[in-house]
Structure 1
Amino acid sequence: MYVVDNGNNRVQRFAPGSTSGTTVAGTTASTNALTDLKQPTAIDIDSNSNLYILDMGNTRLVDWTQNATNGTLLISDNSLNNDYDIIIMPNSSNQVYICDQDGHAIYLWTFGASTPSVTLQTVNDSQHNSLNNPTGIVLDPYGNLYVADRDNNRVVMFCVNSTVGIVVAEDNNSVPSLKSPVALAFDSDLNLYLLSIDSDQVVKLPRI
């Protein structure tokens, strides 16, 4: 298990059964050197155990290879200052989804690019037709992207190759509450799990 230790400016790995972590990225120093991280907020890992780290305090995305002592800069942009989730694009070696709260959007970035190649923001909904402070994202096995649209109290799905999202779950004074979702995950049966910070609960949504 990998843990983003935001306050200590590092990423730690916990081996199965272990209660003690090992630092695999960062030094606890808070600088912009590529040996360090500054308030990291999200990670993803590829099949070669390379770590992709959203280094929010330094407004950048970096790649740490296994056993490395420093990262490699992939994206640097001042807009990456309030972002809390990333997903490396499947079947791609150089693209990443970044969940941007301030921009109220999900961006698809190519490594080394100065701007995103795709912006996902519009939602097919008559009342709230755009994302509002999205905080978490997850992909299903078919490549559809699900977004925890926190301040609209709902989950939005962007189908493959679509830039307009559809609402797949929302709070209507639901019990349990779906208000303020901040994180999403699928199980092997494609049931969707949602973390609500309004109710401090994890809610299971049957396969959508």
Structure 2
Amino acid sequence: GEGNELHQLNYPTDVLIDKETDSLIICDQENRRVVRWSRRSDTTQGEILIDNIDCHGVAMDDQRYLYVSDVEKHEVRRYQLDENNGTLVAGGNGQGDGLKQLNFPTYLFVDRDHSVYVSDNNNHRVMKWVEGAKEGIVVAGGQGEGSALAQLSCPNGIFVDTLGTLYAADWGNSRVMRWTQGDKKQGTVVVGGNDEGKGANSFHWLRGLSFDRQGNLYVADYNNHRVQRFSIE
């Protein structure tokens, strides 16, 4: 049940699997902590990895560095699994819409070059921060909140494939958008784009998204209490 003990969670917002330790790493948002739970059947409680953080999204790179977004400090930090302070990799310059700033960063994706993609929720854009960069690059949206193909509305889950194509859960427009690496002016609607609803190809508050090895797209359809699967060409 809901609570702040080590055997409890309180509104978890994101999770990843650490294959090396066969464990789940969870953003336990309302408890202001990131916790790790072993996937062994005899596990009864988690352990705190990072505390005192208003986390929302978590990601891990191929060197097992952990990336966590902080919606209170409007920043993303990279952590070794045994440290609590981390290294700033995106934002951290106060709340705002400049290229050095973020405004309520939520979901994350880290590519093979250790570039960090950030759903900059309240700026209605997705930012890319190359490793070591002092400012980010707008790779989707950033044209104000709206429903045009050049716009996003409170983006949530993101995924970047090996070609650099970005997929974003466009929460306010009930659609998943695709932005190719060479075209930052506008995206294309992959699924959804209809009014909020319960039918097939409709959503009511999109959250996370992911792909399997066969290229099927999975979307967390929050207010419809379901996960939808789509075959993407």
Q: CA deviation at 1:198?
A: 3.0
Give the TM-score taking structure 2 as reference length.
0.74
SS at match of 2:72: helix
Tell me, yes or no, if the aligned pair for 2:108 and 2:158 is still in contact at 8 Å. Answer: yes
SS at match of 1:147: strand
The alpha-carbon distance between structure 1 residues 21 and 201, as it changes in their structure 2 partners (threshold 3 A), is same
Q: What is the aligned partner in structure 1 of residue 192 from structure 2?
A: 170
Q: Distance in 1 between matches of 2:72 and 2:175?
A: 28
Q: What is the aligned partner in structure 1 of residue 178 from structure 2?
A: 157
Q: CA-to-partner distance for each residue in 1:155-201, whole Å, 9 max, x for gaps? A: 10012332121111115456233232121111121110111123121
Q: What is the aligned partner in structure 1 of residue 11 from structure 2?
A: none
Say which of 29, 32, 36 aligns to 1:9: 32
Higher relative contact order (CA 8 A, sep 6+): 1
The alpha-carbon distance between structure 1 residues 122 and 82, as it changes in their structure 2 partners (threshold 3 A), is closer
SS at match of 2:172: helix
Q: What is the aligned partner in structure 2 of residue 67 from structure 1?
A: 82
Q: What is the aligned partner in structure 2 of residue 139 from structure 1?
A: 160
Q: CA deviation at 1:112?
A: 5.2
State whether structure 2 residue 73 is matched by structure 1 residue 58: yes
Tell me, yes or no, if the aligned pair for 1:51 and 1:63 is still in contact at 8 Å. Answer: yes
Aligned amino acid, residue 137 of structure 1: I
Aligned residues: 193
Structure 2 unaligned regions, length at least 5: 1-23, 97-101
SS at match of 1:198: helix
Q: What is the aligned partner in structure 2 of residue 118 from structure 1?
A: 138
Q: CA deviation at 1:118?
A: 3.0
Between the two proteins, what is the percent identity of the paired residues? 26
Aligned amino acid, residue 52 of structure 1: Y
State whether structure 2 residue 122 is matched by structure 1 residue 102: yes
Tell me, yes or no, if the aligned pair for 1:122 and 1:165 is still in contact at 8 Å. Answer: no
Say which of 206, 215, 233 aligns to 1:181: 206
Q: Distance in 2 between matches of 1:206 and 1:15?
A: 32
State whether structure 2 residue 45 is matched by structure 1 residue 25: no
Q: CA deviation at 1:151?
A: 1.1
Q: Distance in 2 between matches of 1:20 and 1:98?
A: 30
Give the TM-score taking structure 1 as reference length.
0.82
Tell me, yes or no, if the aligned pair for 2:158 and 2:168 is still in contact at 8 Å. Answer: yes
Q: What is the aligned partner in structure 2 of residue 33 from structure 1?
A: none
The alpha-carbon distance between structure 1 residues 68 and 122, as it changes in their structure 2 partners (threshold 3 A), is closer
RMSD between aligned alpha carbons? 2.2
Q: What is the aligned partner in structure 2 of residue 34 from structure 1?
A: none
Tell me, yes or no, if the aligned pair for 1:128 and 1:152 is still in contact at 8 Å. Answer: no
Tell me, yes or no, if the aligned pair for 1:140 and 1:190 is still in contact at 8 Å. Answer: no
Structure 1 unaligned regions, length at least 5: 31-36
